[in-house]
């Protein structure tokens, strides 16, 4: 891949300089949370390919993008209207979409909200963030060394 343009680099530097610490870390290391039908809540997940499963709905937060991705089984259940699983999946999807909208409403600039299904073309936004080249712990150690030394 080609390196980021000077305009994009300047934008992210300016953005990072105006954000609080948590939001700046989201620019560097996104968060991934998983939701399951009937679980009643979310669980933080590692940015690994094993986190993307057919029975899980994912919310990826990278500050500039919010990606809501339905697993393959959930997407299939949602397409069969009238069945009890479809209603549960729709309730879960609505809850996660409302949470993503609340996250986006509190940010400036507003993040791009992307809704997709596992294996669809828009799922590439999730795939590019899964399993990043540098884990957050290694990045923070390098940052600490650069500041202290």
Report d(CA 16, CA 99) in Å as an integer. Answer: 23
Percent of the chain's residues with pLDDT above 70: 97
Confirm whether pTM is higher than 0.85.
Answer: no
The average pLDDT across 106-126 equals: 93
Give the separation between CA 74 and CA 52, rounded to whole angstroms. Answer: 12
Query: What's the whole-number mean pLDDT along residues 50-66?
Result: 94
Listed in sequence order, the residues at least 6 apart from 35 whose beta carbon sits closer than 8 Å to its beta carbon are 41, 42, 56, 57, 58, 59, 92, 95, 96
pLDDT at residue 148 in the model:
84
Per-residue pLDDT band at 123 (split at 50, 70, 90): very high
Between residues 11 and 3, which one has the greater pLDDT?
11
85-88, Cβ contacts within 8 angstroms, sequence gap of 24 or more: 85/37, 88/37, 88/38
């Amino acid at each position: 891949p080609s390196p980021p343009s000077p305009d994009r680099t300047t934008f992210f530097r300016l953005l990072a300089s105006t954000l609080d610490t948590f939001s700046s870390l989201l620019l560097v290391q996104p968060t991934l949370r998983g939701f399951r039908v009937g679980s009643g809540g979310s669980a933080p997940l590692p940015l690994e390919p094993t986190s993307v499963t057919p029975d899980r709905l994912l919310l990826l937060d990278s500050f500039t993008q919010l990606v809501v991705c339905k697993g393959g089984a959930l997407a299939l259940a949602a397409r069969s209207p009238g069945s009890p699983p479809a209603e549960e999946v729709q309730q879960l999807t609505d809850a996660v979409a409302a949470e993503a909208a609340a996250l986006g409403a509190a940010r400036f600039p507003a993040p791009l909200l992307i809704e997709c299904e596992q294996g669809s073309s828009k799922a590439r936004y999730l795939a590019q963030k899964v399993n990043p080249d540098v884990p957050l712990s290694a990045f923070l150690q390098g940052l600490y060394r650069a500041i202290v030394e």
